[in-house]
Amino acid sequence: MKGKRILTGKYFMMGNTACAEGAIAAGCELAAGYPITPATEIANRLAERFPQVGGVFLQVEDEISAIAAIIGASWTGKKVITATSGPGISLMLENIGFAVGVETPCVIVNVQRGAPTTGMPTAGVTGDMVQVKRGSHGDYEIIALCPSSPQEMFDHTVLAFNYAEKYRTPVFILSDAFVGHMREEVVIPPPEQIETVYRKLPEPGTDPTQIKGFLDEDVAPMPIFGRGFKAHVTSSCHDEYGKRNLSDVSALDHFVRKLSNKILKHKDEIIRVEKNYQDAEVVLVSYGAVSRAAAMAALRAGEEGLAVGTFRLITAWPFPEEEIEKMARKAKKIIVLENNLGQLYPYIKAAAAHYADVYFLPPRVLGEIHDPENILKKIREVIQ
């Protein structure tokens, strides 16, 4: 083999490139995608690197095909990824619901761009924060990570694969054009320091009629194809054995609840937040690229003698409601910073408003990164 699988070392690397390297380091073997700004560099990197290390990148006819192909490949036991931006996610949504419904591990990267519709492809706007949770029809839970740096594009991609495999679910990387195109130091650790998880499988030779391959809140073993498990995989309402049931609504209730509970039951193991709000009167809540401006603003505020802390959502979904409530009990005022018109703000407000005053601040111009000075102004305003 020409290429090394894991490029251990220190690099000056673009976020999108780091994401591709994270996928390879996590053991991903198949990617499918369709060119789209500002995510294309992930496909480019995978197309170049994968064949050198035994993987394949497929450029397919559209994003619907991309998500379908990776789900199909995931059912053969491969770790899989697709990377796109908002318009691509819009096309994928039906099959994302399919992946949730038949419990398929896969990683979906959304390098968010100016939207709605075709919007402004090179602008970084985190406008798809709720789409990942509510975009496909029906009730379901999802896992979504919000990297804020090229290093996290690598780290979060590895983590996303581990979550996908552990919980048999699609996992999103909610990046944006800022983080995707940002170039910064990226450290790729040696292989033994990169934790990788692989899905649970039924015992080889198990009687196929006895395999409970679905709807276990503690994650059922996945009866992947080609091993004689004779898996019947349908996204229509089904039971633990994969048997379809289209007539009994209590079967539907069971189907929906078990799928959701599989994530909710384990949310304490999944949810990650970064807290720095000891003794703070005002807490800046943010995620992704905006958290960099929030940290800067908190630092400057400290220099002015203001007690300002930060709270960063690393996982947007499952939503860290309890962590936010805990924070709100201590803080007097909360400023939610997002590069959109307030997408997670209602969720944060619902968790916090009983205990603290909650404000919202977008950047002065959508698609620009927040100016720490502007955040400082807001801090002074709410303190008065």
Binding footprint of other proteins on the chain (CB under 8 A): 1-3, 30, 32, 51-54, 56, 58, 60-62, 64-65, 68-78, 80, 94-95, 98, 208-209, 225-226, 228-236, 243-244
Q: How far is it, in rounded angstroms, from Cα 345 to Cα 368?
A: 19
Using DSSP bridges, classify how beta strands 9-14 and 30-33 pair: parallel, antiparallel or unpaired. Answer: unpaired
Q: Which one, 244 or 329, has the nearer CB to other proteins?
A: 244
Q: Which one, 180 or 223, has the nearer CB to other proteins?
A: 223
Distance, CA of 142 to chain centre: 8
Q: Which one, 193 or 209, has the nearer CB to other proteins?
A: 209
Question: Given its phi and psi angles, is residue 318 left (phi above 0), alpha (psi -120 to 50 degrees) or beta?
Answer: beta
H-only helix segments in 107-174 = 131-134, 150-167
CB of 214 to other proteins, least distance (A): 13
CB of 374 to other proteins, least distance (A): 45
Q: Which one, 190 or 226, has the nearer CB to other proteins?
A: 226
Cross-strand bridge partners of residue 337: 361
Fill in the DSSP letter of residue 370.
P
CB of 212 to other proteins, least distance (A): 14
User: First and final CA of the chain: distance in angstroms?
Assistant: 64
Q: Which one, 48 or 253, has the nearer CB to other proteins?
A: 48
Q: Which one, 56 or 264, has the nearer CB to other proteins?
A: 56
Position of tokens 């703070």? Answer: 280
- Asked if residue 362 lies in contact with residue 339, where contact means CB atoms within 8 angstroms, the answer is yes
CB of 139 to other proteins, least distance (A): 18
Q: Which one, 124 or 170, has the nearer CB to other proteins?
A: 170
Cα-based angle 178, 104, 152 (whole degrees, multiple of 5) = 25
Q: How far is it, in rounded angstroms, from Cα 217 to Cα 210?
A: 18
Q: Which one, 64 or 382, has the nearer CB to other proteins?
A: 64
Using DSSP bridges, classify how beta strands 282-286 and 56-59 pair: parallel, antiparallel or unpaired. Answer: unpaired
- Asked if residue 272 lies in contact with residue 314, where contact means CB atoms within 8 angstroms, the answer is yes
Q: Which one, 1 or 249, has the nearer CB to other proteins?
A: 1
Q: How far is it, in rounded angstroms, from Cα 290 to Cα 303?
A: 20
Q: How far is it, in rounded angstroms, from Cα 294 to Cα 380?
A: 14
Position of tokens 């997002």? Answer: 338
Locate 165 and state its tokens. Answer: 């495999």
Cross-strand bridge partners of residue 273: 313
